[in-house]
């Protein structure tokens, strides 16, 4: 994943309506999952301050589905234009993914965060503002980016914790990895970078996946940061192809 900070998102009104539709259809499922993960409402209100089991601080790449497992990861959202479409496509293919959410986006679109949870997907902390240079900043700044995003995501989800932490642009530090792990968020890397944020064309993205998947199971896509129509086209081809090749989509190890 190259360092990137594309924004300029559009078509918010149409896609927000799609997000509401997704949420309404899955509200009961989300409620059950949120309560299972986070406990009763009074517990969820203080979830960000509750102690959780520490996880490993080394950067995860492997899949919990074993040697033929694949992890689909979706970064930088949620976005009202693209996240509902990604969710629909994943559902149509019977695939669960890990959504690496930017704190400000989660705060702006809590309905979409809940829709992601309702779909059986997992949440990942992608910091407050997606600062790809945060590895050059003081530890206090790194802490603020990680912990504030954690609180934003938990609140937006209704109490469901992010299970992973992905540094923007791969800007991990030993301090940020240790901090995230102490809050139950396994640092999450990637093996296959589709470079979809550069809009190289869906054929190029698909070719990258087919060429590089043997090197490791975690594939990087985006549902925000610009026009993601090429990403959708690539996913429509990649997901059935992975299944045909005998791969099984799962989640990153924790």
248 phi and psi angles, rounded to 5 deg: -125, 125
CB under 8 Å to 27, separation ≥6 — which residues?
114, 118
SS3 at position 166: coil
For residue 100, give Cα distances in angstroms to 73, 150, 203: 7, 11, 24
Catalytic residue among 121, 126, 183, 222: 222
222 is known as an active-site residue = yes
Catalytic residue among 4, 75, 203, 223: 75
75 is known as an active-site residue = yes
**∠ Cα 252 25 229 (to 5°):** 60
Distance of CA 8 to the CA centre of its chain: 20
- Residue 212's Cβ-count burial label (10 Å; 0-12, 13-18, 19+) is middle
- Residue 18's Cβ-count burial label (10 Å; 0-12, 13-18, 19+) is buried
Task: Judge contact between 95 and 226, C-beta under 8 A.
Answer: no
| Catalytic sites, residue numbers | 75, 222
């Amino acid at each position: 994943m190259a360092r990137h900070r594309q924004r300029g998102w559009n078509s918010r009104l149409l896609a927000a309506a799609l997000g509401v539709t997704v949420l309404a259809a899955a509200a009961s499922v989300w409620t059950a999952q949120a309560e299972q993960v986070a406990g009763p409402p009074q517990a969820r209100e203080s979830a960000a301050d509750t102690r959780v089991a520490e996880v490993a601080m080394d950067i995860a790449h492997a899949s919990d589905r074993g040697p033929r497992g694949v992890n689909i990861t979706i970064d930088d959202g949620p976005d009202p234009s693209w996240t509902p479409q990604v969710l629909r496509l994943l559902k149509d293919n019977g695939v669960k993914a890990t959504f690496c959410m930017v704190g400000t986006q989660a705060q702006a679109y809590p309905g979409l965060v809940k829709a992601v949870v309702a779909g059986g997907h997992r949440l990942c902390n992608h910091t407050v503002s997606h600062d790809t240079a945060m590895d050059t900043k003081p530890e206090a700044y790194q802490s603020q980016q990680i912990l504030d995003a954690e609180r934003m995501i938990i609140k937006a989800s209704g109490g469901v914790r992010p299970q992973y932490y992905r540094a923007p642009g791969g800007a991990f530090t030993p301090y940020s990895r240790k901090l995230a792990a102490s809050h139950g968020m396994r640092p999450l890397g990637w093996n296959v970078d589709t470079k979809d944020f550069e809009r190289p064309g869906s054929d190029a993205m698909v070719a990258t996946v087919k060429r590089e998947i043997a090197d490791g199971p975690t594939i990087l896509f985006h549902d925000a940061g610009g026009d993601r129509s090429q990403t959708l086209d690539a996913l429509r081809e990649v997901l059935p192809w992975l299944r045909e090749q005998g791969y099984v989509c799962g989640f990153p190890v924790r």
